[in-house]
Structure 1
Amino acid sequence: MSEEAVRYDGSHIQVLEGLEAIRKRPGMYVGSTGERGLHQLVYEVAGRAVNEVLAGRAGSVEVALMSDGGVRVTDDGPGIPVEAAGSVGAGPDLEALLTRPYAGAEPGGRHAVPMSLFGTGLCVTNALSSRLTAEVRRAGVRWVQEYVRGVALTPPTIAGPATGTGTTIAFWPDAGIFGTETQCSYAVLADHFRQLAFLNRCMDITLTDERTPGLSRPVRFHSPGGARDFVAFLDEKRGAPATPFTPTHPDVFGFEWEDVRMAGTVEVALRWCGSGEERVEGFANSRPTPEGGAHVEGFRDGVAAAVNAYARQRRLLTPADPDFGADRIGKGLTAVVSVKLDHPEFHGATNGRLGGAVVRVCVAQAVRDRLGASMDRPAGP
């Protein structure tokens, strides 16, 4: 082998920065260049708007799938700061959010929803869109700006007076990256936003499909009942279309609990039906944890402790009998376990499993105490 063939120095290293890196390796930022990546573009934009609602700065979010293949996301918050308007000290301005990775990193803590894969935010959607338009309504002024494949055509420009406040981002996924199929799935987005509404009672989000004439009515996702509504929804799906759903109790049991030991809260809802397999859905800071983890393990510990204590108190088990096993306790059980932590500890690159021994202990104690008290309560007339 020649010296030239084995030589390797700085001249062989290609440095990609900013939007160039995103367009060169899109899958690293949105997961894929297929359907999953398309939906992630929506989540990147909707995530900022959703967190405006959770922070109390906005009241609602509207998402629309437009007839020309674009997606429009609108919130009624104060509007993203615009540098030309002199919005000093109000966080990253519009151009920074749309062009600089991590300039608008998602807020942390229990009161935020992480919807971005890597916290890069709006600039990822901008870089991977053939066109993006931004409209900001702030301090009585309406600002607009347009981008093509992440490059601004003009600086933010005043387009006249504004009615109200808020931000609207519209984008069209780049067919050169995602191929000819750049249509988002209404069903996938609806499931995602419905789930967010179940897990965050203050969330108010609407989804409209404008692609079918005459069928573009908005669907609103808002759930004052929280996790209880989530369990009822899962049970309804469990019973459809052929298997009858027969709950052992008409009401869904649920509670919320804060524990300083784990620096967070837990919300639990559950109900047993007459038959079927166990279904326990776990979430950490509104993020699904399909691999379970400390919160789900703590939930199962607490349920087992409460059920077995009740069974022995009512002499359904003799002193010589072993405790009911997990397979028997979980038969027909539907449950949602949602923790919101200031400092969640995830295992693995995909954040699919939650860690933390303290979380398991706290959730187990909360479930044991609250479920046990409910089971001991005499039934109403």
Structure 2
Amino acid sequence: MGDIVDLSPLKPLVKTIDFRVFVSLWCGVDMRKTCFSGLCCSVSGGGSLPSDYDRCRSLLSGLEGSESSGCVYPVQDDCRTTVWTYQENNDRALDSFQPDEELKRKKRISYVRRRKDIYKSLGPGNKAEDATLLAFGTLFSAPYKGSESYFDIHESPKDHRLQNLLEKIEFLPFAPEIMAAGTELAKSKIKEPFLCAQLRLLDGQFKNHWKSTFSALKEKLKSLEVEMKTNKNSGSVHIFLMTDLPRANWTKTYLADIAKDGKYQLYTLKENDVLQTAEKLMAAEHGIRSGFLPEIRGNTNKDCDPVQLPEILLYVEESVCSCASLGFVGTAGSTIAGSIETMRKNNVCKL
């Protein structure tokens, strides 16, 4: 995450450590196979036997022995049963969302969801106080137990330090390499004012809102056509399409209708289009450099064995959409759409 998102605004407020460095130091595991450049290789070498990985996985994932050792306190409360709050005076109260009787029968749900004050539950006077490491959810590949945590902490007027942090994390931009790639693609590939449409079939919300999403896109296109006629502009409407559906599969879909219509000019990206950006991003080593670094002995430019580049297409697409001057049509409830809206609100695109 530290390679993808620009964490520099948080540096004065929060101490971080890259997971590769952490596991190398904490467990002695050699993490160099996850590195791309020299600094990472220099600080992630570990040095213990490979079998220590299993012990480390067990320890950090809250499996048997972790809590009793006093070393790690695994937080077992997950998003199904717990909503974490802070200074709301509602500790242990029932959350407003509870599964109805039909959902309970359908999903065999036997639990209720409560709101818990994180300080009262995990602060001074609790078992967690004596632990060196507080672990939320699961790490490595521990058995999934609904491990996502739900934090409903948006403001803290009584705690100015935390309030400052919450304001900082409300929006964290992508790394400069990703933002630069999106801006350059908008400039050099599209070249004209354009509309961005997010139509990702694998987006969890698309299957629930696909009708309203397509309807919103149709209305937006009609509006743009009227505006162009009013301005006596006879050119095409330029559309950047953020989709995971290959063009070969557009047959008999609304996308195919748009693609065939001469009034529109469509643009899409493929993973191959952003390989150079992925290489630049990994070479920059933002994740390693943004956090704690141990003392480095020897050469910091050690050669690493080639590793698979991360898939960054989605992030570059989001940065392109932040530059869409004709507007944005996204899927209701989608975290991706929400991310793009936040980027546009903060005017991150510098064309």
Q: After TM superposition, is the score higher than 0.5?
A: no
- Whichever structure has more strand as a proportion of its residues is 1
